[in-house]
Structure 1
Amino acid sequence: MEIQNQNPQDEELDLLDLLVTLAENWKLLIFGPLIAGVVAFGIGFVIPKTFESSSSVQVERPGSSFSAPMAASLAMSADVLHQIAPVAGLDDGLTAEEIYKKLSKRITVSVGKQDKLLNIATQAKSPEAAQKLNQALLDTLFPFSKPRGLEKKQLQMQLDSEKLRLQEALKLEHDTAANIASGKSISEATSRLYGELLSANSARQKAVLDMERRIEGLDKDDIIQAPTLPEQSIKPKKSLLAIGGAAATAFALLLFVFIRQALRTAKESSPEQAEKLARIRSAMPW
């Protein structure tokens, strides 16, 4: 069996043919993508702008069962989205599924891996509308963070009991402080008791405040970053449009040039190929 090796001179000729093709079409290959990039950049001014407002909320609290992932799921629930639909400019006649599909493209909710903050981003056609939609989502979400039913009842009973113990402990602290201030002989046990009372009462007061806040749910004090008023649009990205348009046009023109050159070569090198090309052209409507 004979193996024919390709002549290095043939490879050189193929490379020269390639360079000749590029040289003959350099204007098309350079100015074509440039014009396409400029046109794509101009189209970016026509496409409606999109603005994004962001906010962050500290959701999780010690002892609370309401977590940041729960808040994120609730923020994208049908109940919440349906309530803010009018603020987003959506028709009340839309179904819950239609509202979800539309708003899920304009609202992004995430939870920080380290800080566990609830991060909300909303998009609209104007800075004010984006900020208003973000604030509406927060205002709608906050009431859902309050405990309900049995959880609320148990938490209220625990709070009442803790307040009663705190009141008794504060009275004991006051009486002990009065005895120390009166100058009576104070034992080491009394001094130690007074110090322990101060520490315990401080911790109990903090526990009472935490339970009260759990009952009240989230509010504006939990907002780490209020909904921002964006100054610049996030879409369209004119530079990316220009680069993408130029790159796509360059690829298409390069493909066109090589195909056209291949057809010319085939026509010149073989009468049979030329006849086939002529039949293809005659069959085309243009």
Structure 2
Amino acid sequence: MKNFQIIRALSSKSAVISIAKEKEAMFIAGGTNLVDLMKKNVVAPDKLVDITALDLKKIEFLTGKTSIGALAKNSQVAEDKAIIEKHPLLAMALTAGASQQIRHMATVGGNMLQRTRCSYFYNTDMPCNKRVPKSGCGAIGGSNRMHAIFGASDSCIAVHPSDMCVALAALDATVQVEGPKGKREIKFTDFHRLPGNTPEKDNTLQNKELITSVEIPNNNFTKNVHYLKVRDRSSYAFALVSVAAALDIQNNTINDVRLAMGGVAHKPWRLTEVEEFLKGKTVSETIFRQAADLAMKGARGYGDNDFKLTLGPNAIVEALTIASSK
């Protein structure tokens, strides 16, 4: 790890100004991913702007929405009684992610910005277009058991590792950001990017922008919800496939639904076409199986991860079945 300067910002405005002055500067909060990347020499900032003193830790229940500060800890959100009541899917996803110790350190904003856990990305001796553009993708034709089956490109087949983000994508969240050009709002489903020809770009943040909060609109998904995470071990492990399922069921009919997958793409994979298919349908295993088959349209394996083509639809059926039975 190379030497670097660290300064502490006392306001969002000063944080943005501080980071804008340096080409190789980065924000740091919990540091649960960034410090690892620095130790591996995957990133090497000249300056870190510590934002932990900013007033961005609040969870507020406002008219028509819930606002969660970017510096709220993952454990704080997951254990909040009102979040568990109003947005249980988010609480479930956060609880499924990482270890309890990491959840006590990791922030909501940092969770959104964490980088892929692709082994080629972390190994600086191997080619990786995400780490070094145009150097190649070692995972294509290499070890790719954890990798994408949706939305990949010839440049990158890595997946986004977050559980929290899958739930937020399903819940129609929006991201509030502040930067040198002022404040703006980004739909959560537009926040993360597919790799295309620029896999080094994980998200749609503009240069030096700071995430200040995430907002979730009020909804009726308070009962029939489930976050299913299939992984190699039940302790701290990233998803092979995950499914966030939220249903609004009236008289055994699906009035509304939200569905997203994790561990399958470069971003949380929202299944809007499947949602439209399920609306108005009577709850049944047959309908759930048809929905799962529809969800896999366009899926492609790369060898080691071909099993996800079977695991994916089975996980969708299980998640919907569990959610609908509550």
Report the TM-score range of the alignment, normalised by the length of the smaller protein.
under 0.3
Higher helix share: 1
The structure number with the bigger radius of gyration is 1
Q: Which one has a larger percent strand, Structure 1 or Structure 2?
A: 2
- Give the TM-score normalised by the residue count of structure 2: 0.18
- Give the alignment's TM-score, normalised by structure 1: 0.19
